[in-house]
Amino acid sequence: MAVEKKSLNFIEAIIEEYLEEKGEGAKIHTRFPPEPNGYLHIGHAKSICLNFGLAEQYNGLCNLRFDDTNPAKEEQEYVDSIKEDIKWLGFMWDNECFTSDYFQQLYDWAVQMIKDGTAYVDDQSPAEIAEQKKTPTEPGIKSPYRDRSVEENLDLFERMKNGEFPDGSKVLRAKIDMSSPNMHMRDPIMYRILRKAHHRTADNWCIYPMYDYAHGESDYIEGITHSICTLEFEVHRPLYNWFLEQIKDGEYAPVQREFARLNLSYTIMSKRKLLQLVNERHVAGWDDPRMPTISGMRRRGYTPAAIRKFADTIGVAKRENVIDVALLEHHVREDLNKITPRMMVVTDPVKIILTNYPEGITEKVYADNNPEDESAGKREMTFSRELYIERSDFMEDAPKKYFRLSLGNEVRLKHGYIIKAESVVKDENGDITEIHCSYDADSKSGSGTEASKRRVKGTLHWVSAEVALPVEIRYYDRLFTDEAPDGHKDKDFLDFINEHSLEVSHKALAEPALKDAKPEDKFQFQRIGYFCVDKDSTPEHLVFNRTLTLRDTWAKMQKKK
């Protein structure tokens, strides 16, 4: 049998080359290194799927490492949510690591670098240092403190650690090249003084390492082989390598590779802006179902399988990209279509009365739980003389392409009978309050009669008035009305917030089978969309979030006119 060779993305190609070169027994080791200063979003999900996925695929290891070198922004709350989100996506890390666990080793290496003459203490202010760095197009100039003696540097750095100097008064810098065309090589800062309680090391330290110094060395400590990050760190790579050169002992060193971060249409991904949405109450929190956070998508009803398939489909490359959010939605619908039980919920009810149906009785009808999955079985529904259907499923005078109920025309009530609309009752405003219909008593679904096999154009969902269950529905839609909310120079992303991204309704009536639904349970409300039970839901007051609508070609036809 011919085995189709799956094409590799450039990271996989690098890994296969590595594995081949290292030979028998070689293992790759990746890491996912979030800073615990916010909630994970769909962009992180891409990185998670990449790093954990690669480890899985090549039988390697993947660490979770919290890059917690800035206590000013980091909190335990974020650590917890990050772990929860990764697990929810279906991944498990081999080691749980914290950069803060390496503070002592990092300090020792810094001391070593001072001894080697490759690091020095600078007493200048941030403004002075920035001034001397100059711009990318002109070389920087050297700090007056650059040539301090090793002894003095050692003494000063130790006293920095001991808390003898105020915050911001001194930094430790790497001594590299102030005239490098790469700004990051112009004597980057390795340590700053910062008196801020750290979420793990409390007040043990008042100096904290900077990202560029800490990251590569942490990779080194953990034995990471492939340090995969996003494109903006590409310019940092020479520095990443430089720091490793200073401390490595032997052949091994991790290798940094960069890929293009995910951008999604109609979405913002910036942590700062997401935080702003939360802080300014444009959304209800990090897990608001309109947020592109993993917790938001979970609450919205998206599934791990859909997100992972999506990550797989979009691929990994170095080109700047904007993925159509419709692709994500496609994968969510695809998964939900397979797994969700079908239920009948009338979102905007109008009553129908079957005038020739016997009064005072009800009967059972049987409904497939999922036509895509026979093993999902059937459930019982109550059929009765008075029922509710969707207000939009009736028109007195219907256009020719309208397949639903109209005066004098027939439709099938799904899993029930064929009915014909005879007359309407209206209130003083002219709004329809009741539709009187006749039903074809021989047409019961599944009864096998000639009448039951009759084909009518329309099939409607319904609930029996006797047992209908009032529920709350939260209709979520895209948060932004613009494809690129933060892509406009003259406009703020907040200008594009969709006023209708959340509409709450208490009108809906559900079939009673829904009464035991628990938070995160997912359903397809037949002919309407996919819904999931919100965490605000209680047995007395069910709350459903609309995950996505069904594709609706009728609505599309209407729109075109």
Partner RNA sequence: UGUCCCAUGGUGUAAUGGUAACACACCGGUUUUUGGUGCCGUUAUUCAAGGUUCGAGUCCUUGUGGGACAACCA
Residue 557 in contact with RNA, rule: CB under 7 A = yes
Residues near 88 by beta carbon (within 8 Å), at least 6 away in sequence:
294, 298, 304
| Closer residue to RNA, CB minimum distance, 145 or 536 | 145
Nearest to 99 by CA among 6, 263, 214: 214
Q: Measured from the CB atom, is 60 or 416 closer to RNA?
A: 416
Is the separation of the CB atoms in 62 and 29 below 8 Å? yes
Q: Work out how close the CB of 47 gets to RNA at its nearest, in angstroms, rounded to a whole number.
A: 12
Phi, psi dihedrals of residue 429, rounded to the nearest 5°: -85, -5
Tokens of 548: 């996505």
* Whole-angstrom distance, CA of residue 28 vs CA of residue 273: 35
Burial of 126 (0-12, 13-18, 19+ CB in 10 A): exposed
271 labelled as ligand-binding? Answer: yes
Asked if 75 and 201 count as a contact pair (C-beta separation under 8 A), the reply is: no
> According to the binding rule CB under 7 A, does residue 235 interact with RNA?
yes
What SS3 state is found at 237? Answer: helix
State the minimum distance, in angstroms, from the CB of residue 454 to RNA: 8
Segment 87 to 126, residues that bind RNA, using CB under 7 A: 124-126
Binding mask 447-486 for RNA (x = CB under 7 A): -----x--x--xx-x-------------------------
Q: Is 262 annotated as a binding residue?
A: yes
Candidate list 32, 58, 157, 208; residue touching RNA; CB under 7 A? 208
For the bound state, the minimum distance from the C-beta of residue 538 to RNA, rounded and expressed in Å, comes to 27
8 A C-beta contact, residue 75 and residue 44: no
> Interior CA angle at 164 toward 162 and 169, to 5°?
115
* Annotated binding residue 44: yes
Query: Taking CB under 7 A as the rule, which mask of x and - marks residues 41-80 in contact with RNA?
Result: --------------------------x-xx-xx-------
The distance of Cα 330 from the centroid of its chain, to the nearest Å, equals: 15
Binds RNA by CB under 7 A, chosen from 527, 531, 534, 544 = 527
Q: Is 129 in the site for RNA (CB under 7 A)?
A: yes
| Residue among 81, 36, 480 at smallest CA distance from 277 | 480
Residue 276: exposure state from Cβ atoms within 10 A (0-12, 13-18, ≥19): middle
Task: Determine if residue 351 is labeled as part of a ligand binding site.
Answer: no
Considering only residues 289 to 308 of the shown chain, the ones binding RNA according to CB under 7 A are none
Distances in Å between the alpha carbon of 279 and those of 196, 212, 273, 492?
22, 30, 10, 16
* Active site (annotated) includes residue 390: no
> Amino acid identity of 414?
K
Instruction: Name the strand (E) or helix (H) holding 212.
Output: helix 211-222
The answer on whether 269 is annotated among ligand-binding residues is: yes
3-state class (DSSP) for residue 35:
coil
Distance of alpha carbon 505 from alpha carbon 508, whole angstroms: 7
Structure tokens at 31: 């890491």
Q: Cβ 304 to RNA, closest distance in Å?
A: 19
184 or 290: whose CB is closer to RNA? 184
Task: In angstroms, give the least distance from the CB of 480 to RNA.
Answer: 16
For RNA, which residue of 83, 142, 146, 318 counts as binding (CB under 7 A)?
Answer: 318
Q: Output the smallest distance, CB 9 to RNA, in A.
A: 4
Of 105, 118, 276, 337, which lies in the binding site for RNA, with binding defined by CB under 7 A?
337
Kindly state the smallest distance separating residue 308's Cβ from RNA, in Å: 14
The reply on whether position 227 binds RNA by CB under 7 A is no
Query: Does 316 participate in binding RNA (rule CB under 7 A)?
Result: yes
Tokens standing for 99? 């950069």
- Residue 372 or 380 having the CB closest to RNA: 372
Burial class (CB within 10 angstroms; exposed 0-12, middle 13-18, buried 19+) of 550: middle
Of the candidates 524, 537, 545, 547, which one interacts with RNA according to CB under 7 A?
524
- Residue choice 14, 18, 26, 35 for contact with RNA (CB under 7 A): 35
- Paired sense of beta strands 410-413 and 418-426, if any: antiparallel
Asked if 550 is part of the footprint of RNA (rule: CB under 7 A), the reply reads yes
Count CB atoms within 10 A of the CB of residue 284.
Answer: 16
List the one residue from 324, 380, 466, 495 that touches RNA (CB under 7 A): 324
- Range in contact with RNA (rule: CB under 7 A) among 103-111, 330-338, 465-473, 538-546: 330-338
Q: Please report the DSSP string for 278-300 in residue order.
A: HHTTSSSSTT-TTSSBHHHHHHH
d(CA 257, CA 240): 11
42 is in an annotated binding site: yes
232 catalytic residue (yes or no): no
Contact 325, 290 (CB under 8 A): no
The reply to whether 210 sits near RNA by the rule CB under 7 A is yes
171 is an interface residue for RNA by CB under 7 A: yes
Check binding of 144 to RNA (CB under 7 A): no
Q: Is 7 among the residues that bind RNA (CB under 7 A)?
A: yes
Q: Flag whether 376 is marked binding.
A: no
Annotated binding residue 41: yes
- How far apart (Å, rounded) are the C-alpha atoms in residues 266 and 144? 50
Q: Does 404 bind RNA (CB under 7 A)?
A: yes
Query: What mask, x for binding RNA by CB under 7 A, covers residues 363 to 382?
Result: -------xxx----------
Q: From the candidates 261, 318, 351, 391, which is the catalytic residue?
A: 261
- 239-278 mask for RNA (x: CB under 7 A)? ---------------------x----x-------------
Identity of residue 386:
E
35 catalytically annotated: yes
Single out the catalytic residue among 12, 35, 234, 422.
Answer: 35
Q: Which residue in 148, 415, 522, 546 binds RNA (CB under 7 A)?
A: 415
Alpha-carbon span 73 to 85, nearest angstrom: 20
Please check if 181 is assigned to a binding site: no
Residue located via tokens 């008035």: 465
410 binds RNA (CB under 7 A): no
**Cβ atoms < 10 Å from Cβ of 182:** 14
Task: List residues forming the annotated binding site.
Answer: 35-37, 41-47, 67, 211, 230, 261-262, 269-271
**Positions at the binding site for L-glutamine:** 67, 211
Q: Which residues are catalytic?
A: 35, 261, 271
